[in-house]
Amino acid sequence: MMGKSSNWLWRRIWCGLRLALTGLRDLFFVRECAVCGEELESEHGGVRQTVESEGQDTGRLLQEDVPATDGGHLCDSCMADIPLTYFWNYSGNAAIDRLAGRCHVYNAAALFFYRHDSDYCELVRRFKYGGDTALGLWAARMLGEYMAVGGLYSGVQAVVPVPLHWRKRFRRGFNQAEIVARGIAERLPAGYGSVAADDCRGGDWASGGCAFGGRVPRGLPVVTNLLFRRRYTRTQTRRQAGQRVRNVAGAFGIRSREIERLRVAGVRHVLLVDDVVTTGATIAECVRLLEPCFTVSVATLGFVE
Ligand SMILES: [Zn+2]
């Protein structure tokens, strides 16, 4: 027992130290590319240079719509080569197909193809296991921008992250799905069915909700108390499809009081958010709880092919 708790203590200390070191490194502007590790020239180097030299889609979006948030996290070439899914442009795509038959989603989007042999997995690993929440937020904002431009998600009124068990959250220090939810929520248009902030008291507002760049008001509420974990589940990472389904079966619950509050506030369409979709077992489990009461769309950073 003693051994276990001192292990745990050391892990917490190490985690804290690592976060402090990351902060110090950023303070002195020695930033490295989250994918290849190459040193970035300046705080905004990766993003701005891509825009100027190549005029890429990604670059244009970031320059116009993400001014002075937290700079780029990728070098020029990694930024230009992100294996984007473009799912946000299509109402029929592989993410929707993956969930078909188990639950009904209105739309589904993912930022990039998560290939286990690709360095782009670092985007999620650094964020989720390395505690680089700024990186996760940055990638999520990028996805939110794409989803907003495409227009297929303009009916979404609230964003719901897949919940993490409190023990896991305590150990990690944050819920990665909630960070992704915040980044996306900030960038989605708030115009449609606009839900008043007061009506979403239990939820938490993303920093939007105001005119952004003089155009459509952005920012949707992030609702963290609608879904909850009923029980602690072991990591899904090394499990086969069938095991994943059994592992999460009945693992989640939904609070009827919160359903009622959101319905009264006029929320009819929610966006369920997670970090990565693999077999879709976790997401399907959550969608099944939400779909009797809401239209459900889904968004993740990574999509495992
Ligand atoms: Zn790079």
pTM (global) more than 0.85: no
Residue 64's pLDDT is 41
Residue 213 tokens, joined: 């760049």
Burial 176-211 (b: 16+ CB within 10 A, else e): bbbbbbbbbbbbbbbeeeebeeeebeebebbebbee
Residue 109 tokens, joined: 């989007």
DSSP character for 4? H
Q: Give the distance (Å) from ligand 1 centre to CA of residue 78.
A: 4
Q: Which amino acid is at 277?
A: V
Q: Give the distance (Å) from ligand 1 centre to CA of residue 38.
A: 6
Residue 241 tokens, joined: 């499809």
Q: Give the distance (Å) from ligand 1 centre to CA of residue 153.
A: 30
Q: Give the distance (Å) from ligand 1 centre to CA of residue 126.
A: 14
Q: Encode pLDDT of 4-13 as tens digits.
A: 667 777 777 7
Rounded to whole angstroms, how far apart are CA atoms 248 and 30?
41
Q: Which amino acid is at 31?
A: R
Digit-by-digit pLDDT tens for the chain (305 residues) are 445 667 777 777 776 777 777 666 656 656 889 999 998 875 544 343 333 333 344 444 443 444 334 458 999 899 999 999 999 999 999 999 999 999 999 999 999 999 999 999 999 999 999 999 999 999 999 999 999 998 899 999 999 999 999 888 999 999 999 999 999 999 998 854 445 443 443 344 444 333 333 345 678 999 999 999 998 777 766 677 777 777 888 899 999 999 999 999 999 999 999 999 999 999 999 999 999 999 999 999 999 99
Rounded to whole angstroms, how far apart are CA atoms 213 and 65?
7
Residue 72's pLDDT is 82
Residue 123's pLDDT is 94
Q: Give the distance (Å) from ligand 1 centre to CA of residue 36.
A: 4
Q: Are 33 and 73 in contact (CB under 8 A)?
A: yes
Q: Give the distance (Å) from ligand 1 centre to CA of residue 96.
A: 30
Q: Give the distance (Å) from ligand 1 centre to CA of residue 85.
A: 19
Residue 63 host element (H or E): helix 57-65
Residue 247's pLDDT is 80
Residue 13's pLDDT is 79
90 conformational bin, left if phi > 0, alpha if psi -120 to 50, beta if neither? beta
Q: Give the distance (Å) from ligand 1 centre to CA of residue 253.
A: 40
Q: Give the distance (Å) from ligand 1 centre to CA of residue 30.
A: 14
Q: Encode pLDDT of 111-127 as tens digits.
A: 999 999 999 999 999 99
